[in-house]
Amino acid sequence: MPEKIKIVCLGDSITYGFPFGHQASWVRMLDDVIDAELINKGINGNTTSDMLGRFERAVLKYNPSYVIIMGGINDVICGESYDRIIWNLRSMAEKALAADIKVIMGIPTAVDDPSWEKLISRIRLWIKVYAEEKGLEIIDFSKAFFDSNGKLKNELLLADGGHPTMAGYEAMFEQIDLKIFK
């Protein structure tokens, strides 16, 4: 009998499901519809440096089939440089690939702050180009938060302008194409 696939979801509060908890997260919604073991390794407040620092114990020790890596917003809010953020994201992807783990890059969600959103959009673009170059799958979570004209759907964000509402988490889940886990 083939071993059940295992998926580690590595990220920050938006992976964790803040402020509602794991039960409201897109990870739990995915867990409800896929025959796999899902491990939510989202930690509130984590930057990509934090994620890279805990990569071995949060991802590699589980020997997953897949890892979904999503981060970068906290880095931007904390003033981290674009170069450091993409270095961290690339390093995590390379560590997973070296361990024969299939990498799925999560495209960061929206933030209702034009200056932060400008840098986050650069990170999104880099992730898309990098994933295409490396043949990695992506989940474009940001698509959930913009209408067809590129206008932010504020109703999907909490008053803090950065965390999804319950409907926002549902919209994130809807961006996941289950075929990427075949």
pLDDT at 93 exceeding the cut of 60:
yes
Average pLDDT in the 10-20 region? 97
Q: Is 47 helix (H, G, I), strand (E, B) or coil?
A: coil
Tokens 């933030």 belong to residue: 111
> Cα separations (Å) of 113 from 17, 94, 116, 172?
21, 31, 6, 19
Average pLDDT over the chain reads 96
Residues in the chain: 182
Q: What is the pLDDT of residue 3?
A: 73
Cβ neighbours of residue 133 closer than 8 Å, sequence gap 6 or more: none
Q: Is 75 helix (H, G, I), strand (E, B) or coil?
A: helix
**Tens-digit pLDDT profile for residues 122-161:** 999 999 999 999 999 999 999 999 999 999 999 999 999 9
Q: What share of the chain is helix, strand, coil (3-state, %, to 5)?
A: 50, 20, 30
Say how far apart CA 135 and CA 130 lie, in whole Å: 8
Q: Output the domain CATH number for residue 120.
A: 3.40.50.1110
**Tens-digit pLDDT profile for residues 151-178:** 999 999 999 999 999 999 999 999 999 9
CA dihedral 26, 128, 91, 37 (to 10 degrees): 30
Structural domain containing residue 96: 5-181
pLDDT at 2 exceeding the cut of 70:
no
In the chain, how many domains are there? Answer: 1
